[in-house]
A and B are shown apart, each in its own frame.
Chain A
Amino acid sequence: MQRHGFTAMGTEIELLLDAPATAESAAAVTAVATEFARLEALLSRFRADSELSELNRRGALDAGPELAGIVRLALSARERTGGRFDPTVHDAVLGAGYDRTFVELLDVAERPVVGATCGGGVTVTPGGRIELEPGFRIDLGGIAKSWAAERTVELLAPLGPALVDAGGDIATRGRAWPVGVATAVGELTLLVEHGGLATSGIDRRHWPALGGASHHLIDPATGRPARGSLRTVTVVAADAVEAEIHAKSLFLTGAADVAAAEADALGLPAVIVTRDGHTVLAGGISA
């Protein structure tokens, strides 16, 4: 089993490839790292020269296929989740204090959380022109990572069973993969036969703020960091992008019983961990 790691998109990327180490596999791993770097250059809101930053500055852009495609996915997700997954949370994320990379945030003095309106209008033409409603900007954080994981695992899959973990957004191919999930009392191992897995939560990307801790999961209904009784939600779905969308959407339900009922209704295996130390399995996960 080959294991490789590097940093991209503000997180650690881990690659697993169940194949002998050869020149071909080394080239594939390099290709994955190169692709992550290319996508980060297009999609990062922290890079002023990215295509996404240019869109946010100008409010309209004839975008390339990657940006246009991901924005379409995000808009579709917003519709399917009743607005809980929303790409127009950019200003609310900044208002929560997430205005620099997470590593840089740790050295910043506490600031107040400022809410912002979400649910802005976004249109994408068939030709790839994206137009934003004035006053709204886009953040593609989670969905961009999961999309990159799905895209790059395809580069490894021809060589053997493969897994790409983009900071918790996991795309798999070729075999059943045992994936560890942190729970309230330890760790649970899920055997994921194929598809993707993602975890949304506030256990990692949070920082001190005036009036209490702040975090990156914005509730579009309030334009502020989500409140509720949940700590993390892990979802397994057909691919990493779907898993990311539903993990965030279930987290924003704010309550374990509601999230579990929704996971059951959607048939999505989910591990729900509450702030007070309970773990709920839902969506047909069998022990």
Chain B
Amino acid sequence: MTNSNHTTRLYTVAATVFVLFVSWAAIAAHPWKSAATFNAKDARLVALAQREQLLRRDMVLVQKLAASAAVSAKASSTARTLQSRSAAPVAATPSVKVVTLPPLVITRTS
């Protein structure tokens, strides 16, 4: 066997490998699919987007409910404060009358 035969065989193998690679690349590119099919979204992505929208809507609802609860709590707190301010002294304050008795003690500015 000569050196020339060896070289020819080597080139042949290399050319075969190259042709096989190009063929695989061409097939993997799915050139027979239409552009519409190629651009169609994966069903899982669509479901994920829908799920995200639902979660966003729930988040808005929860925020509204929380804000409403905070307003209610603040209103209750204010009512309690006002009640404690006004009702407590009324309940505990003694009745006072102006009388004509001589005073036993005279209050001064403290």
Chain B interface mostly? mixed
Decide if A11 touches B94 in the complex (CB within 8 Å): no
From B93, B100, B103, A267 is in contact (CB under 8 Å) with B93
A194 at the interface (CB under 8 A from B): yes
Chain A interface mostly? strand
From A167, A192, A237, A286, B89 is in contact (CB under 8 Å) with A237
Stretch touching chain B among A44-52, A66-74, A129-137, A179-187: A179-187
Nearest-neighbour CB distance to chain A for B100, whole angstroms, equals: 7
Complex CA–CA separation, A55 to B58 (angstroms) = 53
Most buried by A among B86, B92, B93, B103: B93
Decide if B86 touches A180 in the complex (CB within 8 Å): no
Complex CA–CA separation, A265 to B89 (angstroms) = 10
Interface membership of chain B positions 77-110, coded 1 if the CB is closer than 8 angstroms to chain A and 0 otherwise: 0000000011011101111111111111111111
Q: How large is the interface on A (under 10, 10 to 19, 20 to 34, 35 or more residues)?
A: 35 or more
Question: Smallest CB-CB separation from A265: which chain B residue?
Answer: B86
Nearest-neighbour CB distance to chain A for B71, whole angstroms, equals: 22
A195 at the interface (CB under 8 A from B): yes
Complex CA–CA separation, A137 to B94 (angstroms) = 35
Nearest-neighbour CB distance to chain A for B96, whole angstroms, equals: 4
Nearest-neighbour CB distance to chain A for B57, whole angstroms, equals: 41
A107 at the interface (CB under 8 A from B): no
CB-CB under 8 A from A16, the residues of chain B are 104-105
CB-CB under 8 A from B108, the residues of chain A are 167-168, 182, 199, 204
Interface residue ranges, A against B (CB under 8 Å)? 1, 11, 14, 16, 80, 142, 145-146, 163, 165-170, 177-182, 187-195, 197-205, 232, 234, 236-238, 242, 244, 246-247, 265-269, 281, 283-287
6 closest residue pairs by CB, A with B:
A180-B103, A267-B90, A238-B92, A168-B110, A180-B106, A269-B96
Seed contacts A179-B104, A191-B98; 4 additional CB < 8 Å A-B pairs: A167-B110, A191-B96, A265-B86, A285-B96
